[in-house]
Structure 1
Amino acid sequence: MAAAPPTLEWERELAGQGYTLVAGCDEVGRGALAGPVSVGVVVINAATASELAGVKDSKLLREPVRQALVPAIAHWAAAHAVGHATAAEIDAVGLVSALRLAGTRALAAVAAELIPDFVILDGNQDWLSAPVQADLGFFGDGCAERLAADPWRIQTRIKADMTCLSVAAASVLAKVERDSMMVALAQDFPQFGWEGNKGYGTAAHREAIGAHGATDFHRKTWRLVP
């Protein structure tokens, strides 16, 4: 039996509590051996937004369907962005901090347009709400001051990508953008099959790393070969 599609039920509950601008947030690429971790953010006016047909957790959609949904999501959202943290940044600061970095970049991008009142974060780990170091300079143009003056509330929700439409939409944007990055990189590194595996640890990918060595796009602090 197919799972029920995500809805705006919780987003509308939040609007009823006074959180009008609700952001759904989801990450992709956490378990890959190569490429960035990417975080999608989709902000909606939860009091007025309508349902958006066809959107599900990105893992449940075929690649052409995900790609076709991107323009509809962009039109539907009040603001949207995808942030990335590179493999080198993952190696330098660790995965959780890199997720925070990617999420911070995405939220900084949407904050240039509007600042959400509430962020729904998929999963059970809040990797987003640790203080941002002011000297990292990721916000630019006064965004850091705006964010500090107007903090949002963050709450994790298990399987939010399956139940909350804003989070599912964010997962689609993040997946499509990260996948396109890996397909582009595959043209320069065809031996790793990134156009198909998107940097994840398939047997063929691990064998290629063993044969050719790691690139600067691999997470070199990870166990890349058996």
Structure 2
Amino acid sequence: MKIRDSRLLPTFELESAEMALIPGPIAGIDEAGRGPWAGPVVAAAVILDPDNIPDGITDSKALDENGRETVYARIVATSSFAVGIADVARIDTDNILNATMWAMSHAVSQLEIAPRLALIDGNRAPKIKCATRTIVRGDAKCLSIAAASIIAKVTRDRIMRKLARDYPAYGFERHKGYGTPEHREALSRHGVTPLHRRSFRPVQYALGLIADPDNNATRATAEADLI
């Protein structure tokens, strides 16, 4: 298992401090897939067992694909977790931010154990039936959020690899719907699929709905990742 950058590793310190003050389960929440031009956005909620925390949990971006799969299996075997999946129709209807909040809320609602507190990556919290705390770069600081980042990322990557079999010309199994040169070329050659987010500027450009004088494709991806 390869860890790309181990300079900052998440810990269980925040969860331990919270549970010492007020007992009760604490969930970490994170998402995968806000920035891509195609496919769903996936959120995960994870409640780690304080007495059985698996090895290797870190920010999903710090692990390679094999490493994520290995740690995913450990989390699934020892923790309470659930996912929420907002499809392309919801993203285009509600916008990517609201779709992400819905996916997070749905993930929490599917947990077998109701958390008393949810720790959420980023600076926005979904509407859920427990206390919340947002943590910027939480996946690099908080072990429960890091675990959720792995569950969300692996779940979404598996979805995109499966969808790639239906649309083999687009390379979804490689770029997972993100705005790579390969993806841009596929859009130009083969057009827009039902998997593409029509509310995103690069897809609108591919449909001929807008002009692209300022490299909107690159800018749209950056803007989506910052939401």
Mapped to 2, the partners of 1:62 and 1:118 lie a distance apart of 30
Is 2:46 the partner of 1:80? Answer: no
For 1:4 and 1:182, how far apart are their aligned partners in 2?
29
- Alignment of 1:187 with 2:194, yes or no, is no
Please list the CA deviations of residues 130-164 of structure 1 after superposition, one character each: whole Å capped at 9, or x if unmatched: x7xxxxxxxxxxxxxxxxxxx31011011110111
Stretches of 4+ moved more than 2 A in 1?
A: 48-52
Contact 2:95–2:199 (CA<8 Å) still a contact in 1?
A: no
Unaligned runs of 5+ in 1: 132-150
CA distance in 1, matches of 2:147, 2:124: 20
- Which whole-Å CA distance do the structure 2 matches of 1:117 and 1:44 have between them? 13
SS in 2 for 1:216: coil
Q: CA deviation at 1:4?
A: 3.3
Cross-structure match for 1:174: 152
**TM-score with structure 1 setting the length:** 0.84
Give the structure 1 partner of residue 33 of structure 2. Answer: 29
What is aligned with 1:90?
91
Query: Could you list the runs of 5+ residues in structure 2 that have no partner in the other structure?
Result: 207-216, 218-227
Matched, 1:120 2:119: yes
Amino acid at match of 1:124: N
Alignment partners' CA distance in 1, 2:182 and 2:73: 34
**Partners of 1:153 and 1:49 in 2: how far apart?**
23
User: Residues 43-82 of structure 1 correspond to what in structure 2 (within 5 A)?
Assistant: 43-45=47-49, 48-77=50-79, 79-82=80-83
Q: Calculate the aligned-residue CA RMSD, in Å.
A: 1.5
* TM-score, L = length of structure 2: 0.83
1:19 CA displacement: 4.3
Contact 2:53 2:78 in 1 (8 A): no
1:54 & 1:122 partners in 2: Cα distance?
19
Q: Percent identity?
A: 38
In the other structure, the counterpart of 1:199 is: 177
Aligned 1:120-159 pairs, distance under 5 A? 120-126=119-125, 128-129=126-127, 151-159=129-137
By relative contact order (CA 8 Å, sep 6+), the higher-ranking structure is 1
Match for residue 162 of structure 1 among 140, 147, 160: 140
Q: For residue 44 of structure 1, report the CA deviation from its aligned partner.
A: 3.0
Match 2:21 to one of 8, 14, 17: 17
Which residue matches 1:107?
Answer: 108
